[in-house]
Structure 1
Amino acid sequence: MAAEVVTLSEGIRKRLITAGKCNLADFCNGTKAIFHYRTELCDQKRTVIDDSSEREKPMELIIGKKFKLPVWENIIRSMQQGEVSEFLCDTPLVIEYPQVSRSLRRIAAGQDPRDGQRHCCGGIAQLHDHSLGYQDLDELQKNPQPLIFIIRLLQVQGPGSYRQDAWAMSDEEKLGAVPLLHQEGNQLYKQGNTTDAAAKYYEAIACLKSLQMKIM
């Protein structure tokens, strides 16, 4: 028997697939939600646009950091750790998805998500003639439509229990993180763990590059 579809808020409908095993989290600002997502079109085939489970790392979202796709924060707040649910989101709530998907795909490929981006003052409409580098995202950008998100909430971490990624840090936090990351990288390198050491150095460089972009 299919689960009942409930309306979370205007433009968001939810269908529970698998119940979570924990109480509903507080999700105060600074809470990190780690989840896998599957994005589908609302066509007869339910064409898959993205599936994070095919990548090495799941999505990480920090509540209150003004992520470019606010609807994800809204739907995550309705979930329990371990829960799997399906959300149908109306077009106005997912208009930015092609841009977000492009960035996430580039990050997963080890590329800078900002490379090749064009900054316009006229909003998403002016981007219609600018390719995102992915044919399916270009089509979705030209023809906005409702999207289905299937979310599997893997873990919820409270503020202060994790180190933020560079993109989620304030400028002061980035400055403070660089020497710590460099020190951790050196320690890992001395231990012969060059792969993890390189990852620490990469994080430090990402912090510095982000700060550099603001003063150019």
Structure 2
Amino acid sequence: MTLLTNASEFPADTKVRFHFVAQLITRNPDEEIVLGKVIDDNRNYTQPIEILIGKKFKLEVWETMVQAMAVNEVAEFYVDKTLCLTYTLVAKTLRDAYSKDKPKTQTWQMDENERINALPRLRLEGNELYQEKKNSDASKIYAQAIGIIEQLQLKEKPGEQECQALADMKIPFLLNYSQCQLLMGNHYEVIEQCSQVLFQQPNNVKANFRRGMAHLNTWNPTEAKNDFEKAALIDPSLAKTVQQQLSELEEMIKEKNKSDKARLSQAFGSKT
């Protein structure tokens, strides 16, 4: 990613403008970095990207990178894929907001009221697709709604009433999106989206339970146990379901310990 900043200092709420190129990288057998396909190049957009420092931009690693740069510096950063799990959603938001080539029907050309008024329709469309078990299509609708809200958030300062209202408005879409992603097996995406919800609403039972399921399926046993137990504490009616998941987790841990013990025994077998 290549960034060009136009800000002289970086206290909270500083507006930073930059260009970026996002590119896949691989490593050859000698561990040398090999540049691959260009995913995005915002020189094709209508203007540089703008973020406010300290606003907890959805792709937080960008803030970290920008703040490591000098004014007008051009720099390259190599970022582990685990820090870019939300890139697809973020990139779609930015394209909708800045792309030169979007057709007239796209939401980026709507005014603020039109965008807000589109949200109930998108939620209904997404819900209907979800009921029809079209999880991928529903996810795209929910992602579109999330993108609209995030475009509106770009104009607001953190902590202000308008910004918080938009954050609250985004929560149902994040929950619906995470449910679709859970059913599709995209567990790291579920963890990211549910964590966004829990940052705003720590006692949201759906977010705790779904993140627990995602942690269970990505072998994060401690995190899964914490989320499941909190979900049951918030909603006692989930106690039986949570206990079933915890029992499954315990069995997984036992099997893993048994497998690890057998592997170690094979590797360091007793001497004869």
> TM-score, normalization: structure 2?
0.37
Structure with higher Rg: it is 2
Query: Normalized per residue, which structure has more helix?
Result: 2
> TM-score, normalization: structure 1?
0.46
Query: Normalized per residue, which structure has more strand?
Result: 1
Flag the structure with more relative contact order, 1 or 2, with Cα contacts below 8 A and sequence separation at least 6.
1
